[in-house]
A and B are shown apart, each in its own frame.
Chain A
Amino acid sequence: MTRLPTRLGVLLAVVVLAAGVGAVNAQPRVSNPDTLLYGVYWEPVNLDPHAITDWASMWMLDNTYETLVRYSTKQVQNKTVGTADVQPHLAEGIDVSADGVTYTFRLRHGVKFHSGDEMTADAVRYSINRMLALALGPSRLISEFITPTSTEVVDRYTVRVKLTKPSPLFLQLMAGTNTGAIVNPKTVDAHGGITPGKGNDWMSRNVDGTGPFTWGEWRAGESFELVANPNYWQGAPKLRRIAFRIIRDFNTQLLLLLRGELDIVYRLPPEMTAQLIGNPDVVINRENGIGMHQIWMNNRMSPFDNKKVRQAFLYALDPYAINRAVAFGYAETAKSAIPSPLEGWTGKVWPYRVDLVKAKSLLAEAGYANGFHTEIYYNAGNSEREKTAISAQAQLKKAGIDVEIRSIPWPTFVSNYEEGKIPLFVLSGLGLPIVEDYLISNFHSKNHGARGNYAYYTNKEVDALIDQLLTAREADKRRSIIGDVQRLINDDAPSAWIYNSLLFYAQRKWVKGWVLYPSGNWYFYPVQKSL
């Protein structure tokens, strides 16, 4: 027993040696070829598509439920990438009336739910109305132009939806699993039916969709799985099962990936990829998501209620350096107020670059010639936000802005920024690939606070342009409105945008067909493992 310390010494010596030698675990063949092993640090919370509000649940349901339309893909430099455009999916064809109000969906024949019932026009109407009746998460966007009487069954395979006003959002929303999922009326009714305003316990733990995968065993805290649906209408998936392993430690995830015991790892901290450079078996799969990693300023709180102070803040920050320090340079540095995958994005109306002289003179004009003291907040445990705050602190110091860093627990953080109680905070998100939705929730003054405009930003001109965009259908007009909005917002500098939210996956080279969508959807149907 007393030899333990010696043993420890040996262990440590081996660590040092191993670091030098490097692990040679190259595996010439695909391990577990029909099972995709996915390392995650979270788990889904709810399997009811019309009640979910979290990404993890959405990613599972993307594969078990289907929608009338779905985001399409395109080829970019020999790589398949997802787009923000929709194409028919459970619908075979869509007719839109000239006034943009009536949508007629012609459904595919012979599509079956996992339980064996056929998906028909009744199921579509039932699903849309169920979402409206539950009035949980996803319904808020769609209830602006759909009512419970909007959807009409024309015949067994035809559905007509009459919007209360034309909306370019409608088809996009029907592509979202939480807004557009088609559920089986028989199954829902057999398990309690629809109770307005309330979730359904059975639906939150079970699945009966039309998707290529069914829900397998769920061992809370440990693992969960998607199992192939052999009767899928496009043919059985190539993978027999997608096994998700909950591993909260990224070091452990990385080691498993390197040894080929995991095939994909979600959101490995980018700096860890240093260990993957030169590894022939592992590749990085990255894409821009719909969201900005940013330092929010409270536009109602002094001194950030002063536009010059906010502009000085942006001239003092070096987002490229933060990208390198925090995202290892994998992210796309911000050049506008909105994420680059969105329709109408332009990098041509971006006035900022690092300019300390300009920052100081703006501060002086605002009455802060000697700088000022403020606080920046993030939720404890989030290392991306922590590192961002630290980098920003050093940069802002040079312009005379003295920032104190505060980390607080998540619930406190959320209520503080929603209620506008903190001057600066680091926050990033992922949203729908719909430019109207992004602009309304982030910048419209009717959405101050919890509704998404956490900066409490107000510009009536911006509000008016966003309102105009909601009914604009002509491409040129839309582009010019979206460009004008960006110019105004960039100039107002309500927030300090650092980089585009990053979709970031490390995967074994043998994983083929894994496509990243700007909307953040996960579709496993085309995925397979081969060398």
Chain B
Amino acid sequence: MNSAFSTFIVRRLLALPVILIGITFVTFLLLHLVPGDPARLILGEAAQDPQVVAAVRHEWGLDRPLHIQYLQYVAHLVRGDLGLSIRSRRPVSGDLARYLPATVELGAVSFALTLLLGIPLGVLSGARERTLTDHTSRVASLLFLSMPSFWFGLILIYVGYYVLGVLPTPTGRLGVMDVPPPAFTGLYLVDSAVAGQWGLFLRSLWHLLSPAFVLALASVGLVVRMLRASMVEILRQDYIRTAQAKGLPPRAVFYGHALRNALIPTVTVLGIQFASLFGGNVLVETVFAWPGVGLYFVESIQWLDYAPVLGATALIAAAFVTVNLLVDVSYALLDPRIRYT
């Protein structure tokens, strides 16, 4: 880690707030381009009285000019205040603190499954080009990529839960009668472990596996195809032949020379996949009744509930920026030729 490298990281970190403000600005504008009035939506039938609508608009500052509304939002944002939902009067930060752990937990397990399934399959496929193993894994990855995840989720629930009764009840993070562990991080795996409730830990892991698997499949398909292509290409390079010729053991050639180089493009893909997990997946969340950020986001848009939409957008953007930074950093670790200036 040289000083140019640390400067690079600092510069990227400094850019983060600017990016976030930019993102919220664009989102704010887009939200206000949608015809519709949140006050009226929220009042529903009661919106029949213009005075009531005006009172609600005033209470939430919707009657002020747009630029003032935005500046007020930013003024609160920089102080870490994400505002209140007009619909529920709940603080957005509290809502996100509830939905985010569910999304993070699902994302993390799903990402682990992507790595565990995708990398070995991709390497195997690339190393044994045009064998039965290769063909099978290529067809399988194509299938994973093209199959709609919610459809696979539905099949999994129908067969695994309903018919065979081996998969857990698709009621989100725990079964219908389970009581969640004492809230600490909001991550049920961590909280149940901290509380020493190992039965709950296992049930929570058990509930995580199906949606995580469904969510991971498309990424697995992508990773397999990318890794296979890189492996095939790299195994034909001169430096691989040189390494083999100078008598390096096949293992060293394979892992030290081939795989390490083949991983670089895959890491980019993995980074994007990882970051996108934080945005939640509305369809998978719907099918598995998973209380994630995705549904919260979509529902807030439906009600033109500005603060939750802006808050969730900022959060997802922050996740993307951070993960991109991590990806860039990992390039340097994988390939010493990559320098940051």
A residues lining the B interface (CB < 8 Å)? 1-2, 4-5, 8, 11-12, 14-15, 18, 23, 25, 32, 35, 37, 45-46, 53-54, 135-140, 197-199, 201, 204-205, 219-223, 243, 245-249, 251-252, 255-256, 258-259, 261-262, 409-412, 414-416, 418, 429, 431, 441, 447, 450-452
Residues of A within 8 A of B117 (CB): 1
Cα of A441 to Cα of B44 in the assembled complex, Å: 13
Q: Is B12 an interface residue (CB 8 A)?
A: no
What are 19 A-to-B residue pairs whose CB atoms are below 8 Å?
A: A1-B117, A1-B120, A1-B137, A15-B158, A18-B158, A45-B87, A46-B89, A140-B48, A197-B55, A204-B89, A220-B88, A220-B99, A221-B99, A256-B170, A411-B34, A411-B38, A411-B303, A415-B35, A418-B47
The B interface, classified by DSSP as helix, strand, loop or mixed, is helix
Cα of A409 to Cα of B193 in the assembled complex, Å: 43
A302 vs chain B, min Cβ distance (A): 22
Cα of A172 to Cα of B51 in the assembled complex, Å: 24
Residues of A within 8 A of B98 (CB): 219-221
Q: A221: which of B36, B43, B295 is its contact (CB, 8 Å)? A: B295
Q: A247: which of B36, B88, B155, B171 is its contact (CB, 8 Å)? A: B171
The winner among A46, A249, A259 for most chain B CB atoms within 10 A is A249
A417 vs chain B, min Cβ distance (A): 11
Cα of A204 to Cα of B180 in the assembled complex, Å: 24
Contact in complex: A410, B302 (CB < 8 Å): yes
Q: B95: which of A54, A136, A220 is its contact (CB, 8 Å)? A: A220
Contact in complex: A416, B35 (CB < 8 Å): yes
Across the two chains, which residue of chain B brings its CB closest to A5?
B140
Across the two chains, which residue of chain B brings its CB closest to A14?
B159
B246 vs chain A, min Cβ distance (A): 33
Cα of A198 to Cα of B57 in the assembled complex, Å: 11
The answer to whether residues A411 and B162 also contact, given A140-B48, A219-B291, A220-B95 and a CB cut-off of 8 A, is no
Q: Is B143 an interface residue (CB 8 A)?
A: yes
Contact in complex: B59, A249 (CB < 8 Å): no
The answer to whether residues A222 and B176 also contact, given A137-B52, A255-B158, A414-B40 and a CB cut-off of 8 A, is no
Residues of A within 8 A of B38 (CB): 411
Residues of A within 8 A of B43 (CB): 53, 136-137
Q: A53: which of B44, B163, B165, B286 is its contact (CB, 8 Å)? A: B44
Q: Is B327 an interface residue (CB 8 A)?
A: no
Residues of A within 8 A of B173 (CB): 222
- How many contacts A-B (CB < 8 Å)? 192
Across the two chains, which residue of chain A brings its CB closest to B140?
A5
Contact in complex: A2, B140 (CB < 8 Å): yes
Contact in complex: A415, B55 (CB < 8 Å): no
Contact in complex: A137, B44 (CB < 8 Å): yes
Q: Is B161 an interface residue (CB 8 A)?
A: yes
Across the two chains, which residue of chain A brings its CB closest to B91?
A201
Cα of A256 to Cα of B137 in the assembled complex, Å: 35
Contact in complex: A245, B155 (CB < 8 Å): no
Contact in complex: B90, A54 (CB < 8 Å): no
Contact in complex: A2, B137 (CB < 8 Å): yes
Residues of B within 8 A of A35 (CB): 177
The answer to whether residues A249 and B40 also contact, given A136-B46, A220-B95 and a CB cut-off of 8 A, is no
Cα of A386 to Cα of B158 in the assembled complex, Å: 26
Across the two chains, which residue of chain A brings its CB closest to B88?
A45
Contact in complex: B157, A252 (CB < 8 Å): yes
Q: A140: which of B52, B88, B176, B291 is its contact (CB, 8 Å)? A: B52
B230 vs chain A, min Cβ distance (A): 19
Contact in complex: A54, B44 (CB < 8 Å): yes
Q: A412: which of B35, B48, B156, B157 is its contact (CB, 8 Å)? A: B35
Contact in complex: A53, B46 (CB < 8 Å): yes
Q: Is B304 an interface residue (CB 8 A)?
A: yes
Contact in complex: B302, A255 (CB < 8 Å): no
Contact in complex: B163, A14 (CB < 8 Å): yes
Q: Is B81 an interface residue (CB 8 A)?
A: no
Contact in complex: B289, A248 (CB < 8 Å): yes
Cα of A262 to Cα of B175 in the assembled complex, Å: 11
Cα of A414 to Cα of B176 in the assembled complex, Å: 36
Cα of A11 to Cα of B156 in the assembled complex, Å: 8
Q: A441: which of B36, B48, B87 is its contact (CB, 8 Å)? A: B48
Cα of A2 to Cα of B295 in the assembled complex, Å: 34
Residues of B within 8 A of A447 (CB): 48
Contact in complex: A137, B163 (CB < 8 Å): no
Contact in complex: A247, B163 (CB < 8 Å): no
Q: B176: which of A37, A251, A416, A431 is its contact (CB, 8 Å)? A: A37
Q: Identify 7 new A-B residue pairs, CB closer than 8 A, beyond the known A1-B137, A247-B170, A261-B176.
A: A23-B163, A136-B55, A204-B89, A221-B292, A251-B157, A411-B34, A411-B35
Q: Is B10 an interface residue (CB 8 A)?
A: no
Cα of A248 to Cα of B288 in the assembled complex, Å: 8
Across the two chains, which residue of chain B brings its CB closest to A196?
B55
A-contact 0/1 string along B301-336, CB 8 Å cutoff:
111100000000000000000000000000000000
List which B1-57 residues lie within 8 A (CB) of chain A. 34-38, 40-53, 55-56
Contact in complex: A411, B36 (CB < 8 Å): yes
Q: B40: which of A15, A256, A450 is its contact (CB, 8 Å)? A: A450
Contact in complex: A197, B59 (CB < 8 Å): yes
Q: Is B164 an interface residue (CB 8 A)?
A: yes
Contact in complex: B99, A251 (CB < 8 Å): no
Q: B162: which of A201, A246, A258 is its contact (CB, 8 Å)? A: A258
Cα of A201 to Cα of B99 in the assembled complex, Å: 21
Q: Is B185 an interface residue (CB 8 A)?
A: no
Residues of A within 8 A of B70 (CB): none
Contact in complex: B36, A415 (CB < 8 Å): yes
Q: Is B259 an interface residue (CB 8 A)?
A: no
